[in-house]
Amino acid sequence: MKMPISLLLSKGFIIAILCPLVLFPLILLKWGKISPYEIADLNIFKIYYTIFFLTLSIKGLYLFKARNYGAVMLLAGICTIMIQGAYIYGFHFSGKTAIGIGEGLKGYYEVNSGAWTRLPLIPLQLKDIKSDNKKSCKVLLDKMDLEVHLMETILWKGYKLTLTNIGETTLFILSEKDGKEIEGGYIKLNLDDKEKDYFLFDILPHRFYVSKSKNERNIWKKEGEQWQMVIEQRGDGEYLTDEALHLIIMRGKLTVFEGDLRRGEMATFEDYTIKFERGVPFVEFVVKKDHQLYALYAGAFLFITGLIIIIKSRIDT
């Protein structure tokens, strides 16, 4: 049984599509705690979005034949705004990268991109970090020397580059129990945005989870005849967060080491030891695609113009 075209283009059918298309994302944004891009990734949202767009487009053609130009412009405005939304979804890009002195941008350790987006190869190189305050750095961007301050944004060919962090790498050294060093590396830990970060050594199956060491710890003490958990401050500044890290070493689901590790100390696990030393400075940039919103402005203009024509025609009649 075929559904008549008049029913497909009726106000009731359009509203039936529009309600879940608007209400479902609003509910997810409010209580689901997911981003708009994650909502747009849902197949059900894509289906409703496509059906709604096609319905409005066909409705606009029928109204054009009926010479209802105000309604045509209004629907054309909505469709144009939807095209802008689809473009932003398909070509959006956001990525985080960390660069050391003398290094160039070689890749991203965190990426959120659309289906039709290519990872941007930006000619960015870190030349120096201001050692006096560590709040700015000097970079070479496409043969241009620039000084960038913390949280400052620079532009390059449709992309926004924001300096979000200036930090220091940590040198981890892996050794055998007899003291022979077998591997090491400068690790760019991200402990400001995450509770813990992790890294790997190629020669081992273990994961090394790192978090900030706290200046206090929970311990059990006996008060009278009862045991109570109390917070004890660590003494002598030995466990200040810039001098100590909390390290968890796991092989599969088995924890083989957990504890606080001060700079220069050895942690022993299985047949190996590991320690950390200060590394070299690095900077972190967040790169985002800067979308032009020409279609959005055009759609808003068409929508408002169509609405004015409809209101004026009803007043005249």
pLDDT string in tens for the chain (317-residue length):
444 445 445 566 566 666 666 776 777 666 666 778 888 888 888 988 898 899 889 888 988 988 888 889 999 999 999 999 999 999 999 999 999 889 999 999 889 999 889 899 999 999 998 766 668 999 999 999 999 999 999 999 999 999 998 888 899 999 998 889 999 998 888 776 667 889 999 999 999 999 887 665 555 666 666 666 565 555 544 444 456 888 999 999 999 998 888 888 899 999 999 999 988 889 999 999 999 899 999 999 999 999 899 888 888 77
Question: Is residue 17 situated within a structural domain?
Answer: yes
Orientation angle between helical segments 69-91 and 43-65, nearest 10 degrees: 150
Range of the domain at 19: 5-92+294-316
Nearest of 215, 212, 211, 213 to residue 232 by alpha carbon: 215
Per the CB < 8 A criterion, the answer to whether 280 and 168 are in contact is yes
Look at strands 244-251 and 124-129 and give their pairing.
unpaired
15: in domain: yes
* Amino acid symbol at 316: D
Residue 310 lies in a domain: yes
CB pairs under 8 A, 24+ apart, for 266-269? Answer: 266/175, 268/177, 269/206
Partners of 248 in the β-ladder:
209, 258
Residue 308 inside a domain? The answer is yes
Residue 137 within any structural domain of the chain: no
Query: In the chain, which ranges are continuous DSSP H helix?
Result: 5-8, 11-27, 36-40, 43-65, 69-91, 294-316
Return d(Cα 197, Cα 176) in angstroms, integer: 24
The continuous run of DSSP H or E covering 170 comes out as strand 159-176
Buried b (16+ CB within 10 A) or exposed e, 53-70: bebbeebbeebeeeebbb
Give the burial string for 128-149 (b: 16+ CB within 10 Å, else e): ebeeeeeebbebebeeeeeebe
The pLDDT value recorded for residue 7 is: 45
Partners of 200 in the beta sheet? Answer: 207
The count of structural domains within the chain is 1
Q: Tell me whether residue 281 is in a domain.
A: no
Is there a domain that residue 211 lies in?
Answer: no
pLDDT at 1: 42
| Alpha carbons 123 and 141: distance in angstroms, whole number | 6
**Dihedral angle over CA of 227, 233, 239, 242, nearest 10:** 130
Residue 183 forms beta bridges with which residues? Answer: 174
User: What is the pLDDT, as a whole number, of residue 45?
Assistant: 86
The per-residue pLDDT for 312 is 87
73: in domain: yes
- φ, ψ (nearest 5 deg) of residue 301: -65, -45
